[in-house]
Structure 1
Amino acid sequence: MKTNERAKYIYLTLQLLPTEKEREALQMTWDNYKKACNTFSRIKYLKLAKGKHMDVSACKKEEPKSARALAQRLLHAVYENSIKYTVEEAYKNQEDSKKLALIVFGEYDETNVKLLAIPYFRKPTFTVDFSTKKCRLDLAKNFQKIAFTIPKGLPEPPESWEVKRAYLKLIYGTWYLTLGFSNPTIKTEVKPDAHIVGIDRGEINIATTYSPDKGAKRYSAKDYYTSCKGGTKDDYHKNLFAKDVIVAQEIVERESPDTIFVLEDLHFNKLRKGWSYRNFSDAFIYLAALHHQCVFFCDPRNTSRTCPKCGEVTNTKRNRDEHRFICCSCGYGEKEIVNDDENAAENIYLRGRKELLKDDF
């Protein structure tokens, strides 16, 4: 199946349950890794800025000259490639000289920083045992075996799925380990009669689906409301993820095993509060693969602004108060009420079908 980088892996996020000693080891690793990334980020920025003849006098400091030196000083050498990867991936989007700026790595929900995750790409640096519910991580000083739990609603992965990578994250004081499996549905053959479903993601509606045979269906966030016990940011984040899992379950169970879902390949530089769009896609892709369904990512540009009837993009309008779409070119949506999220889901379906089957729009 034609696909992209985003669909090569299936992700499952585990919540770690560290002891006090393990928590200290995790925090030391996290703090040192963050410091190493910010130092190497400055080295990377100075190098890029010098090539563009930019004034960097205010940014110069006496620091180690390589990721290897940083890893050996703050962590140990095994983290060298992870530091390089984290920083270089962050600078990939800064190709235009006007957009070149020093990237700072920080905590979840901090403003003006790049969200941090520690990648583990080599198998000796991490192992996961689902029979004992424990993972073994290479931390700053030594290996630690840490208990974990799988989020409610997500079953264990099949034994045939091999973990290829892992990402350590700290969100509102809770430690998570996101596992990356090779996607077993990546080579699915797309037939002319393939059942394709477009999915739009958002804050008001967690997801909106569309297919010609079943039409559109909205999964409103308010219909999946559950109270946050403590009312903390950590409770709120876990509540959002719990709703995402429930909606993902309902969607995959509603469709047949041969379904191909189309999602927008969304990327945001800043955290979108109240919208865990990435958590939903991770849980959704994981559950879809368990149901022998696959996911294709399409270009997200103008899916909400395009008329699915005439194809007009620039000459359209959306009534955000009424969540209504109206095309100013052909009049679609003037007489009948067209929900803007349903319209986007239909456009995502059409765009995905065009790419997968090379149909005319």
Structure 2
Amino acid sequence: MEEMTVTAKIQISVNADSKVFLDEIMSVYSDACNYVSDYVFRTHDLKQFSLNKALYSTLREMFGLKSQMAQSVFKTVIARYKTILENQKEWIQPSFKKPQYDLVWNRDYSLTQNCFSVNTLNGRVKLPYFAEGMAKYFDHDIYKFGTAKLVNKHGKYFLHIPVTYDVEESNVSDICNVVGIDRGINFVVATYDSKHKSGFVSGKAIKQKRAHYSKLRKELQMCQTPSSRRRLKAIGQRENRWMQDVNHQVSKALVESNPKHTLFVLEDLSGVRNATERVRTKDRYVSVSWSFYDLEQKLIYKAKQNQSTVIKVDPRYTSQCCPVCGHIEKANRDKKLHLFTCKNCGYKSNDDRIGAMNLYRMGINYLEDSQVPDTVTTE
């Protein structure tokens, strides 16, 4: 069995009184996080025991936090610093600008199928919430709730709850279907599967919308006013949400259109951001900012939920190798026409489809050899 965690997001229904209570605790909690963050930045102390010894009384007296709330503040700040140190490799002080409140399950909050109960500075508050899609998670023999985060977005209150559960691991011997997935810009994905069927998701509409956002961003950057900077930030967030939704829909469709125990084969595109020197300057925004990684991550966790597997393979020659005769030559591919023509046997097809076919072949080799192939073979 393998443990998986998904985040359930629910909207809380608030009235005037409960709004005051939630706003107060979220604001105080964020202020307390900033206070602890400043101390950690000065001392580089990330041990909860010593932070508790130095700051616990202050959090209780200065901010009026209850015991569990104070412990949650320490955990929130420590987790943020550890993330920064892991990603940036240096001490950078995080700022908790947006009101938030981290809630420990069965201490700070509880949840039934029709009621959200939360601990505030004014005692317990019980509130209704929009429960669509939550019913299945209340089987606590299967699903376990973790530390949730209460946030305020545009005047609406949301609870983000990590839900952990076990899924069966897919063994190589269980694989019944292989799908090669070529990711790109002309087509978001091109696929080729064990039934020798091809599929395409066009990237044209996405490319046009991103070009619109890029043009708008350039115009706002030229203004250099406070309002234009606020607008820039809002547009960036909107584009990110939209692109994540697209990737969610594409990854969901890929998993649902294939049976359980499917092997999905992707190119390892981890170096795509370092390849800008080979891309024309005017094309760099599209090629480098295209969200390959987000699509990959969404596909991985959705595949696990369906007892399927994702592997990543070396992308070299996947668009230059003929899937019929195995001949590899750079001239086989015409990037402008998106056409592959084998210089040896004359086989013709869309270049993205060729990539998917070769990834499918690498998936078959993986099943035969029980190890990820180094590169596309010429067999």
For this structure pair, what is the TM-score category when the shorter chain's length is used for normalisation? 0.5 to 0.7
2:95 alignment partner, one of 89, 95, 104: 104
- Provide TM-score, normalisation by structure 2: 0.56
Once the two structures are aligned, what percentage of the paired residues are identical? 14
* 1:255 corresponding residue in structure 2: 258
Q: Which runs of structure 2 are paired with 1:182-261 in the superposition (5 Å)?
A: 182-185=164-167, 187-191=169-173, 193=175, 195=177, 213=195, 214-215=197-198, 217-218=200-201, 220=203, 222=205, 246-247=249-250, 249-259=252-262
CA 1:216–1:118 in structure 2 vs 1: closer, same or farther (change >3 Å)?
farther
Residue of 96, 105, 120 corresponding to 1:139: 120
> 1:30 aligned to 26, 29, 33, which one?
26
SS in 1 for 2:11: strand
Q: Does 1:156 align with 2:152?
A: no
Secondary structure, in 3 states, of the residue corresponding to 1:144? strand
SS of 1:80's partner is helix
What is the letter of the counterpart of residue 8 of structure 2? L
Q: Answer whether contact 1:12 1:286 (CA < 8 A) is retained.
A: no
Q: Which of 372, 375, 379 in structure 2 is aligned with 1:359?
A: 372
Cα 1:33–1:155, aligned 2, differ >3 Å: closer, same or farther?
A: closer
Output the CA distance in 2 between the equivalents of 1:206 and 1:144: 46
Is this contact kept in 1: 2:181–2:191, CA < 8 A?
yes
Unaligned runs of 5+ in 1: 51-63, 108-115, 226-231, 267-272, 327-334
Judge conservation of contact 2:145–2:163 (CA < 8 Å) in 1: yes
Given that 1:67 and 1:80 are in contact with CA atoms closer than 8 Å, whether structure 2 keeps it comes out as yes
Where do 5+ consecutive residues of structure 2 fail to align? Answer: 47-52, 209-233, 271-288, 322-329, 341-347, 375-379
SS of structure 2 residue aligned to 1:13: strand
Question: Which residue identity does 2:93 align to in structure 1?
Answer: L
**Residue matched to 2:35:** 39
Higher relative contact order, chain-length normalized (CA < 8 Å, sep 6+)? 1
User: How far, CA to CA, are the matches of 1:175 and 1:30 in structure 2?
Assistant: 11
What's the TM-score, normalizing by structure 1?
0.58
When structure 1 is superposed on structure 2, of 24-33 and 170-179 the one drifting more is 170-179
C-alpha contact (below 8 Å) 1:41/1:103 kept by paired residues: yes
Q: Are the counterparts in 1 of residues 13 and 130 from structure 2 also a CA contact under 8 Å?
A: yes
**Cα separation, 2, equivalents of 1:98 and 1:288:** 31
Query: 2:80 matched to 1:80?
Result: no
Cα distance in 2 for residues equivalent to 1:279 and 1:149: 28
Q: Which amino acid in the other structure matches residue 20 of structure 1?
A: A
Answering whether residue 162 of structure 2 is matched by residue 180 of structure 1, we say yes
Q: CA deviation at 1:97?
A: 9.1
Give 1:65 deviation, angstroms. Answer: 3.7
Q: Is the aligned partner of 1:128 residue 2:111?
A: yes
Aligned pair count reads 302
| Number of the residue aligned with 1:57 | none
Offset of residue 285 of structure 1: 4.6
Structure 2 contact 175–263 (Cα < 8 Å) conserved: no
Give the RMSD, CA atoms, in angstroms: 5.6
Q: Contact conserved, 1:163 with 1:181, CA < 8 A, in 2?
A: yes
Match among 58, 79, 92 for residue 69 of structure 1: 58
Distance 1:103 1:173, change over 3 A: same
Q: Name which of 60, 65, 82 aligns with 1:92.
A: 82
For 1:101, give the aligned amino acid. Answer: I
Distance 1:241 1:156 in 2: 25
User: Is the contact between residue 188 and residue 202 of structure 2 (CA under 8 Å) also seen in structure 1?
Assistant: yes
Larger Rg: 2
Residue type at the aligned position of 2:69: Y
Measured in 2, the distance between the counterparts of 1:183 and 1:126 equals 20
Question: More deviation in 241-250 or 157-166?
Answer: 241-250
Encode CA deviations 1:207-234: one digit per residue, 9 max, x unaligned: 77675655554375948x9xxxxxx989
Q: 1:280 to 1:78 in 2, by over 3 A?
A: farther
- Distance in 1 between the 2:108 and 2:298 partners? 23
2:16 and 2:269 map into 1 onto residues whose CA distance is 39
Q: How many angstroms apart in 1 are the aligned matches of 2:188 and 2:38?
A: 38
